[in-house]
């Protein structure tokens, strides 16, 4: 269970990415049915810590507080040399099976600590080549929002840190809890990690030029057998143009996007209802419980029954 979170305040830390971790994990949202984490900010030498924008944050807490953290987080930073004491905290957290999360260039700190060796990881697309060159034993993917590999999560730049953090909340506490946090932050409750970091597409010229109406209709018809041809007709496009526009606007294929929405809806029903698995599978478009189970095992490494046992019980509690 994710309870104690420690954010490392490394000199040169970037305020926005630092604030992302504070916003997701540092606010008590229990009155709304959300989480309340034991949240700490820690640094190697308690006192003033210079940020990347040239002002200081005063951090009174030392690194000892991270000894039993369930999550150690590292935000983006501009410092080439990282105090070895931070690296030891990261290594120790990883060794005991705790989560380790980086945002943007924070991946360099994780790589320097040695925990990205042999792993797939990401960072801001502007830094990806440098990360890959400096740490050739890390498989750097510059084309995704975030990567989860074992208990290590790395994210791309800026807002992708929100996606990665909410992904971890969802992974540990369930979709309904993550949705509470997202609603308070006024951000989308889920963007899939495989979505492209950078989408080279112009802004829509008018509301009718976007795919919003089609995706909204898709969400209302998850149980239907939706094809690209059918969706293209609703968008008044050819199938080829629709598929190309969908990937350009949303960073993934219509089928992958639809499958992820079905997963999220199934997770919600498993958490919040006692509807049987076959009915959930039909409602969400998987057809049968066996097919739904296949997708749960592939994506979440668990079965629908085990997911309900874990997150349904927590929701009821």
Model pLDDT for residues 149-170, shown as the tens digit of each residue:
999 999 998 789 999 999 999 8
Enter the pTM of the model: 0.71
133 token code pair: 């060159």
Q: Which residue has the tokens 């990690």?
A: 193
Structural domains in the chain, CATH included, are: 4-185 (3.40.50.880), 201-317 (1.10.10.60)
109 touches 77 (CB < 8 A):
yes
In the chain, what is the greatest distance between 2 CA atoms, to the nearest angstrom?
61
Residue 191 predicted with pLDDT over 70: no
Question: What pLDDT does residue 209 have?
Answer: 47
Tallying the residues shown for the chain, one arrives at: 317
312 vs 94, more confident: 94
Least-confidence region, from 141-145, 161-165, 176-180:
176-180
d(CA 261, CA 98): 29
Once rounded to an integer, what is the mean pLDDT over residues 280-289? 95
Interval 14-58: pLDDT, tens: 999 999 999 999 999 988 888 999 999 999 999 999 999 999 999
Beta-bridge mates of residue 101: 73, 153
Helix (H) or strand (E) holding 176: helix 175-185
**By percentage, how much of the chain surpasses pLDDT 70?**
91
Q: How far apart are the first and last CA of the chain?
A: 14
Interval 195-234: pLDDT, tens: 444 434 333 433 344 588 898 899 999 999 999 999 999 9
d(CA 118, CA 139): 7
């Amino acid at each position: 269970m994710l309870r104690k979170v420690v954010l490392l305040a490394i000199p040169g830390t970037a305020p926005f990415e630092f604030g992302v971790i504070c916003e997701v994990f540092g606010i008590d949202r229990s009155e709304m049915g959300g989480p309340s984490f034991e949240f700490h900010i820690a640094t190697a030498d308690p006192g003033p810590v210079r940020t990347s924008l040239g002002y200081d944050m005063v951090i009174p807490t030392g690194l000892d507080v991270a000894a039993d953290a369930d999550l150690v987080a590292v935000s983006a930073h501009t410092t080439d040399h990282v105090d070895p004491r931070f690296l030891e905290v990261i290594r120790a957290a990883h060794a005991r099976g705790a989560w380790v999360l980086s945002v943007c260039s924070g991946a360099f700190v994780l790589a320097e600590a040695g925990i990205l060796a042999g792993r797939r990881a990401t960072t801001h697309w502007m830094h990806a080549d440098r990360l890959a060159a400096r740490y050739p034993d890390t498989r750097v993917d510059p084309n995704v929002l975030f990567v989860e590999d074992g208990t290590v999560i790395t994210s791309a730049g800026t807002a992708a840190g929100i996606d990665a953090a909410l992904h971890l909340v969802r992974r540990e506490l369930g979709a309904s809890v993550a949705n509470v946090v997202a609603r308070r932050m006024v951000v989308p409750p889920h963007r899939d990690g495989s979505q492209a970091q950078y989408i080279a597409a112009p802004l829509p010229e008018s509301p009718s030029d976007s795919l919003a109406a089609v995706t909204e209709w898709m969400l209302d018809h998850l149980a239907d057998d939706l094809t690209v041809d059918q969706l293209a007709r609703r968008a008044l496009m050819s199938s080829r143009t629709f598929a190309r526009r969908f990937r350009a606007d949303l960073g993934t294929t219509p089928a992958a996007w639809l499958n992820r929405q079905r997963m999220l809806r199934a997770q919600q029903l498993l958490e919040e209802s006692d509807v049987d698995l076959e009915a959930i599978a039909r409602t969400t478009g998987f057809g049968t419980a066996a097919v739904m189970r296949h997708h749960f095992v592939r994506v979440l490494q668990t079965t629908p029954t085990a997911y309900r046992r874990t997150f349904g019980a927590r929701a009821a509690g």
